[in-house]
Chain A
């Protein structure tokens, strides 16, 4: 099927679903749940078709909204908004659609004791829409618009249980921090537009290489600051540790699995590699032209990555609240992804850099699956037992065997045990960081040691002597078990073919990200020739 024909439906379907939800929910509870499942399922189908197409052809899809070509009549600069979908975008779109689909199914029973569910399903579809919009856009201001859609939906969803004090507190904290971060990004966009007069990412990359000014460097600093906030990197991870435990578990799964990655990591990678072209700046350096030192930028990312890695994982060890532990573990795993990204930037052009970048992309997907699973398990435990305190949860393996098994798989995957998917992605990051600089490799290993300690502690609790609290607990109903089963299946199946996935999907994705500008320029030229 033609990719240009299916791509718009990735936005149209969730947009239509979200806007029609208030009307559909007039038909009753069953109708609105069915509608949310249908819409997110259809989005998953579109995202899979898109991913298959991009993976199959290895071509970047450039789609112009409102015309055949982004260029105006008789000029060589783009005047319209474009979508650019490379393999990394397609991977992110597929991950977003899959995790959103399972969390929507999970919500049906998990959220049945809450009120205001028509708003809940509207917001969850808007959240998915915002993330898909970020993944496929090729326009800088459009990226900001969808970043705001995603952020506002997630502020509201974090505070959704408005009768709990922690929900409101975390929501307010998240909203203040997130708005400041967004305004940094907007300021960066304004500076770039004032200096270069265009908002299209690909064309902006060309203009930047022609004239790398100090304005561009300041804008880059603002982007990095804003997006590190959004991804929950240390030392600005404090909102995350409050927001993830306070949100309903289905929302924590989406926040931790998707929002911090699409709004933080993916956007950062897009800006660093597609707008501030490291390759172009290397070439400028060789010819003694003014250039932006992207390998220094990579070191900045690496420093934040190491901090995040250690702080996140170490804080996870000392938590007694199950969801807070998972939230800190998310911070720690973001550290690995940032480490891969940073090495991909500093070691640009070498094999090590490519492996690190592929590892970062791979770990983004893997962590989305494992952390979604772990939060869904935590949700099931809270749903059945009514407490998140690990000290009261001992012996859960006796009364909730299936849930405990799902947790076991998720924990083993996140630590990186070989038959599961976390192993390969972490291995790529360890390998490249150890080759690039042994100190970084050692820091990554220390982070994993803390991470293992944290999860072993939880498992020890689960398999301990049964406490009175859990005597009446049992495994949750099918509609809550099914999403966990789907995620376990995805983790195990991806774990069986780690190197095939790495060679066939992740390395090409890293390559496409690195060479994005040239591919994009080629695509633009072919469009201009065809028009």
Chain B
């Protein structure tokens, strides 16, 4: 019973996401022309001004280390946390050290 409901709701979510993925109602894929200016204005800005504002010729690194450098600090922290957590959980049990 529970399982049936779970599968039905998964099916429902899938349907909704497919509806949203339809360019007629929801997201547009590969926007070009006017759509590019309307939907991807931030990306357009990075591409136009990235080189002169940041100095790197690789737009992705310009964004990841300059415009959105704070997110990169966050990602580094996620990695650090994951390692600290994994090391903490794989340590020997109490009383097993010797």
Chain A interface residues toward B at CB < 8 A: 15, 18-19, 65-66, 72-73, 75, 77, 79-81, 113-116, 119-120, 122-123, 126, 129-130, 133, 141-142, 145-146, 148-149, 152-153, 155-157, 159-160, 162-163, 171, 191, 194-199, 213-215, 218, 221
Cross-interface CB contact of A149 among B42, B78, B88, B97, cutoff 8 Å: B78
- Cβ-based interface call for B57 (8 A): no
Cross-interface CB contact of A81 among B20, B70, B77, cutoff 8 Å: B70
Cross-interface CB contact of B94 among A66, A77, A114, A120, cutoff 8 Å: A114
Q: Nearest Cβ distance between residue A183 and chain B, in whole angstroms? A: 12
CB-based nearest A residue for B89:
A162
Separation of A214 and B41 alpha carbons in the complex (Å) = 21
A213 & B26 in contact (Cβ 8 Å cutoff):
yes
A142 with B70: in contact, given A162-B89, A215-B20, A215-B26 (CB under 8 Å)? Answer: yes
B27 & A116 in contact (Cβ 8 Å cutoff):
no
Minimum-distance CB pairs A-B, first 7: A156-B85, A145-B74, A119-B88, A163-B93, A116-B91, A194-B27, A215-B26
Chain B interface residues toward A at CB < 8 A: 16-17, 19-20, 25-27, 38-43, 45-46, 49, 53, 66-71, 73-75, 77-78, 80-82, 84-94, 96-97
Cross-interface CB contact of B97 among A115, A156, A162, A194, cutoff 8 Å: A115
> 17 A-B residue contacts at CB 8 Å?
A72-B49, A114-B94, A115-B91, A119-B91, A129-B77, A142-B71, A142-B74, A152-B82, A156-B81, A156-B84, A156-B86, A156-B89, A163-B96, A194-B39, A197-B40, A198-B41, A214-B20
Q: Nearest Cβ distance between residue B39 and chain A, in whole angstroms? A: 5
| Residue among B26, B40, B97 with the highest chain A CB neighbour number at 10 A | B26
Cross-interface CB contact of B78 among A73, A152, A157, cutoff 8 Å: A152
Contacts of B17 in A (CB 8 A): 218
A152 with B81: in contact, given A79-B46, A218-B17 (CB under 8 Å)? Answer: yes
Contacts of A149 in B (CB 8 A): 74, 77-78, 81
B88 & A156 in contact (Cβ 8 Å cutoff):
yes
CB-based nearest B residue for A171:
B89
| Residue among B46, B81, B82 with the highest chain A CB neighbour number at 10 A | B81
Q: Nearest Cβ distance between residue A67 and chain B, in whole angstroms? A: 9
B20 & A191 in contact (Cβ 8 Å cutoff):
yes
A15 & B84 in contact (Cβ 8 Å cutoff):
no
Separation of A199 and B41 alpha carbons in the complex (Å) = 12
Separation of A213 and B28 alpha carbons in the complex (Å) = 12
Contacts of A214 in B (CB 8 A): 19-20, 25-26
Q: Nearest Cβ distance between residue A62 and chain B, in whole angstroms? A: 15
A145 with B94: in contact, given A81-B68, A191-B27, A197-B40 (CB under 8 Å)? Answer: no
CB-based nearest B residue for A161:
B94
Contacts of B69 in A (CB 8 A): 65-66
A sample of 17 more A-B contacts (CB under 8 A), given A145-B78, A196-B39, A197-B41, is A18-B77, A73-B49, A79-B46, A80-B67, A115-B91, A115-B94, A115-B97, A119-B84, A119-B85, A122-B84, A141-B68, A148-B74, A152-B81, A160-B89, A191-B27, A197-B42, A214-B20
Contacts of A75 in B (CB 8 A): 41, 45
Q: Nearest Cβ distance between residue A125 and chain B, in whole angstroms? A: 10
Q: Nearest Cβ distance between residue A195 and chain B, in whole angstroms? A: 6
Separation of A152 and B80 alpha carbons in the complex (Å) = 10
CB-based nearest B residue for A120:
B88
Separation of A77 and B45 alpha carbons in the complex (Å) = 10
A195 & B42 in contact (Cβ 8 Å cutoff):
no
Separation of A77 and B49 alpha carbons in the complex (Å) = 14
Contacts of A162 in B (CB 8 A): 88-91, 93
Separation of A133 and B73 alpha carbons in the complex (Å) = 12
Contacts of B73 in A (CB 8 A): 15
Separation of A149 and B92 alpha carbons in the complex (Å) = 25
B49 & A218 in contact (Cβ 8 Å cutoff):
no
A148 & B78 in contact (Cβ 8 Å cutoff):
yes
Q: Nearest Cβ distance between residue A340 and chain B, in whole angstroms? A: 28
CB-based nearest A residue for B36:
A197
B88 & A19 in contact (Cβ 8 Å cutoff):
no
Q: Nearest Cβ distance between residue A338 and chain B, in whole angstroms? A: 21
Cross-interface CB contact of A159 among B27, B74, B89, cutoff 8 Å: B89
Q: Nearest Cβ distance between residue A505 and chain B, in whole angstroms? A: 29
Separation of A160 and B90 alpha carbons in the complex (Å) = 10
